């Protein structure tokens, strides 16, 4: 069998791998609580379902424009003005098969061979691999739990050189849940102003799960707006993961390039899903208020629980539905012949001894941490905290 060097060098998503392992153990009869996958445990709002049904009944079954239906593009333009106070035209919108494809389109359209792409860590697992697919070079900028997992302008500046083409970050962040404030983004914008060949991808897929009260967007700074690409979608905010609709917002020359790229790979996204997404954006975050309230409640539950476990250090994330605790205090502890020397050891220990599936921080560029998703029921989260605490108490 012959495989290309590209696929040989590509790593499997550790979040997907851990979720698969969890399903395998569940199929064998183990009582696994899966805290590894970032998928809301809610159903799609009924009004959105009806839009999808109507699209089927009205025969939205033909090829669609590569950048997306005009109706959906217009809904996104209005959403950007309503929620983010951003002014764009439909020509600035490309609809893709999930936000992941939007990210891939931009990275491959802008980053060239051997150019560098900055990644504040922790970062979402696929950023790193998508950069490798584009044959560019990922440059990781480490952060810490003490800094709320956010880079400083000084760190940002220090990592920029003549090879730097892109910087990618998410806010709210997967995996840390951190949210950049308007003032923090303003300081980063000043750095970007000084480097006219630098472009920035802002992943705002968790926008509607933001406990700060207001989403701050880097594209709101006019001095750099033409070099900011915003990526978003319906998966997290509207619990529409299976609908596979994402979008990017950028200057027209970038959207033209991404249309060219997408036209050769997938063409347009599902016609049915596009009509459902348009309805979601037209309705806005009010139809998912119950989700937001549940996630906020679960955040408090998890913060209280994790904070009570000796050896696990956590901050209080301001968005998304993750915690990203530091476990360096547990290094060197043992139970029987098992020793915890890193987060990989700890996550495997939780899976095998406590039947809890999490994801080691190495997948996100922060090897001393592990990611816990609280996108599941209060009951399961309470039980998960109990099991984690009992497992940690066995270590000495």
Same-domain check for residues 255 and 161: yes
In whole angstroms, give the CA distance from residue 116 to residue 112.
8
Same-domain check for residues 297 and 176: no
Same-domain check for residues 122 and 183: yes
SS (H, E, C) the chain: CCCCHHHHCCCCCHHHHHHHHHHHHHHCCCCCEECCCCCCCCCCCHHHHHHHHHHHHCCCCCCCCCCCCHHHHHHHHHHHHHHHCCCCCHHHEEEECCHHHHHHHHHHHHCCCCCEEEEEECCCHHHHHHHHHCCCEEEEEECCHHHCCCCCHHHHHHCCCCCEEEEEEECCCCCCCCCCCHHHHHHHHHHHHCCCCCEEEEECCCCCCECCCCCCCHHHCCCCHHHEEEEEECCCCCCCHHHCCEEEECCHHHHHHHHHHHHHHCCCCCHHHHHHHHHHHHHCHHHHHHHHHHHHHHHHHHHHHHHCCCCCECCCCCECCEECCECHHHCCCEECCEECCCHHHHHHHHHHHHCEECEEHHHHCCCCEEEEECCCCHHHHHHHHHHHHHHHHCCC
Same-domain check for residues 238 and 117: yes
330 has which bridge partners?
none
Same-domain check for residues 13 and 51: no
Boundary (domain end) residue, out of 285, 308, 338: 285
In whole angstroms, give the CA distance from residue 391 to residue 351.
10
Closest by CA position to 310, among listed 379, 373, 390: 390
Output the six-digit token pair for 187: 């300081």
Same-domain check for residues 301 and 375: yes
Output the six-digit token pair for 210: 């933001």
Radius of gyration of the chain (CA): 21
Same-domain check for residues 240 and 358: no
Same-domain check for residues 77 and 168: yes
Boundary (domain end) residue, out of 236, 268, 285: 285
pLDDT truncated to tens, each residue of the chain (396 aa)?
A: 899 988 888 887 777 777 777 788 878 888 999 999 889 999 999 999 999 999 999 999 999 999 999 999 999 999 999 999 999 999 999 999 999 999 999 999 999 998 999 999 999 999 999 999 999 999 999 999 999 999 999 999 999 999 999 999 999 999 999 999 999 999 999 999 999 999 999 999 999 999 998 899 999 999 999 999 999 999 999 999 999 999 999 999 999 999 999 999 999 999 999 999 999 999 999 999 999 999 999 999 999 999 999 999 999 999 999 999 999 999 999 999 999 999 999 999 999 899 999 999 999 999 999 999 999 999 999 999 999 999 999 999
Same-domain check for residues 276 and 356: no
Same-domain check for residues 39 and 50: no
Same-domain check for residues 276 and 292: no
Range of the structural domain that residue 223 is part of: 46-285
Boundary (domain end) residue, out of 243, 267, 285: 285
373 has which bridge partners?
322
Same-domain check for residues 237 and 276: yes
Angle between helices 271-283 and 70-84 (to 10 degrees): 30
pTM of the predicted structure, to 2 decimals: 0.95
What CATH number corresponds to the domain at position 98? 3.40.640.10
In whole angstroms, give the CA distance from residue 314 to residue 262.
40
What is the tally of structural domains in the chain? 2
């Amino acid at each position: 069998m012959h495989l290309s060097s590209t696929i040989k060098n590509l790593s499997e998503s550790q979040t997907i791998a851990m979720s698969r392992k969890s399903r395998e153990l569940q199929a064998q009869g183990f009582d696994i609580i899966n805290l590894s996958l970032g998928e809301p445990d809610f159903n799609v709002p009924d009004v959105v379902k009806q839009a999808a049904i109507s699209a089927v009944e009205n025969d939205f079954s033909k090829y669609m424009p590569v950048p997306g239906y005009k109706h959906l593009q217009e809904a996104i333009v209005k959403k950007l003005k309503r929620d983010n106070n951003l002014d764009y035209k439909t020509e600035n919108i490309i609809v893709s098969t999930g936000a992941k494809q939007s990210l891939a389109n931009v990275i491959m359209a802008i980053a060239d061979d051997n150019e560098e792409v900055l990644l504040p860590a922790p970062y979402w697992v696929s950023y790193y691999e998508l950069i490798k697919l584009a044959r560019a070079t990922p440059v990781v900028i480490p952060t810490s739990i003490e800094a709320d997992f956010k880079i400083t302008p000084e760190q940002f500046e220090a990592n920029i050189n003549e090879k730097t083409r892109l910087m990618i970050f998410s806010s709210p962040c997967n995996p840390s849940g951190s949210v950049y404030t308007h003032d923090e983004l303003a300081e980063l914008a000043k750095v970007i102003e000084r480097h006219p060949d630098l472009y920035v991808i802002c992943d705002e897929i968790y926008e509607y799960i933001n406990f700060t009260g207001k989403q701050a967007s880097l594209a709101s700074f006019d001095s750099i707006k033409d070099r900011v690409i915003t990526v978003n979608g319906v998966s997290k905010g509207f619990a529409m993961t299976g609908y596979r609709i994402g979008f990017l917002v950028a200057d027209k020359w970038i959207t033209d390039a991404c249309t060219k790229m997408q036209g050769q790979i997938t063409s347009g996204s599902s016609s049915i899903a596009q009509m459902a997404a348009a309805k979601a954006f037209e309705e806005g975050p009010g139809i998912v208020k119950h989700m937001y309230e549940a996630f906020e409640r679960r955040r408090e539950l998890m913060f209280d629980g994790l904070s009570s476990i000796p050896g696990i250090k956590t901050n209080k994330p301001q968005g998304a539905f993750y915690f990203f605790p530091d476990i360096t205090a547990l290094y060197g502890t043992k139970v029987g012949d098992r020793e915890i020397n890193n987060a990989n050891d700890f996550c495997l220990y939780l899976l095998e001894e406590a039947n809890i599936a999490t994801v080691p921080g190495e997948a996100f560029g922060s090897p001393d941490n592990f990611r816990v998703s609280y996108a599941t029921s209060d009951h399961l989260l309470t039980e998960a905290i109990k099991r984690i605490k009992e497992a940690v108490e066995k270590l000495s």
